[in-house]
Amino acid sequence: MSLDFSTITASAGFLADGAVYTLQLTAITTLLGLPLGTLLALARLSPRKWLSTPAVLYINLMRSVPLVLVLFWYFLLMPEVLRILLGLEHPVMIGADMTAVITFVLFEAAYFAEIMRAGIQSVKRGQYFAAIGLGLNYAQTMRYVIIPQALRNMLPVLLTQIIILFQDTSLVYVISGNDFMGAVSKIAQRDGELVLMYSFAAVCYLAVSLSLSLLIRRLQSNLSVNAR
């Protein structure tokens, strides 16, 4: 079996566009999903049942179904749901890109919420009472005292979740997204180089994930030294 690496070099631009899309989707999901996840975590920790109960139900629902199922549901059913709700004659075309962004943000927010909940609970209770004693209200206490410490405590776990998110973006190709995995799949099918292209994709994902894992390990070591 001979491998023709010219297939990769000839399609470098197309692969690069897919890689950029994958990184952009990862970044957008993180930037939007983390604040949403933080709000969900605060709602889940709230003593008010009308806040905590919906948050618990949402988080458990999203963590109990596969991401690919959520992608298919939103991509195939949401246009019909919007058509019915808006009273239109034709389905509302959402598109693969918008579907990917919305689905990933809503899905990953549930995982970020659990991470942030653990981080908030890891902050000593005395920090909260000290902030209240200084005259800060609940929102100010969370914004300036509790959440910054929670982020610091859970930063390695958050980065690990971002690595998982980066890997999960490969599922976008099932709805014909323009991500890196989608580009690899199209080239593999076009040129008949399935082994080469999927092996190349595996090496790329491994290289990025391993590099980020080493970064997380170094960060954990630095945090351990600073905490002493």
Whether 11 is in a domain gets the answer no
Whether 186 is in a domain gets the answer no
Whether 100 is in a domain gets the answer yes
Whether 62 is in a domain gets the answer yes
pTM of the model: 0.88
Select, from the ranges 60-69, 81-90, 212-221, the one with the highest average predicted confidence (pLDDT): 60-69
Q: How many domains does the chain have?
A: 1
pLDDT of residue 66: 92
Whether 205 is in a domain gets the answer no
Select, from the ranges 22-26, 73-77, 79-83, the one with the highest average predicted confidence (pLDDT): 22-26
Nearest in space to 91 (alpha carbons), one of 78, 108, 73:
78
Whether 224 is in a domain gets the answer no
Domain containing residue 141 = 22-179
Whether 223 is in a domain gets the answer no
| CATH number, position 151 | 1.10.3720.10
In tens, the pLDDT along 172-196 reads: 988 888 889 989 988 888 888 888 8
SS (H, E, C) the chain: CCCCCHHHHHCHHHHHHHHHHHHHHHHHHHHHHHHHHHHHHHHHHCCCHHHHHHHHHHHHHHHHCCHHHHHHHHHHHHHHHHHHHHCCCCCCCCCHHHHHHHHHHHHHHHHHHHHHHHHHHHCCHHHHHHHHHCCCCHHHHHHHHHHHHHHHHHHHHHHHHHHHHHHHHHHHHHHCCCCHHHHHHHHHHHHCCHHHHHHHHHHHHHHHHHHHHHHHHHHHHHHHHHHC
Nearest in space to 103 (alpha carbons), one of 172, 27, 19:
172
Q: How confident is the model at residue 81 (pLDDT cuts 50, 70, 90)?
A: confident
Whether 219 is in a domain gets the answer no
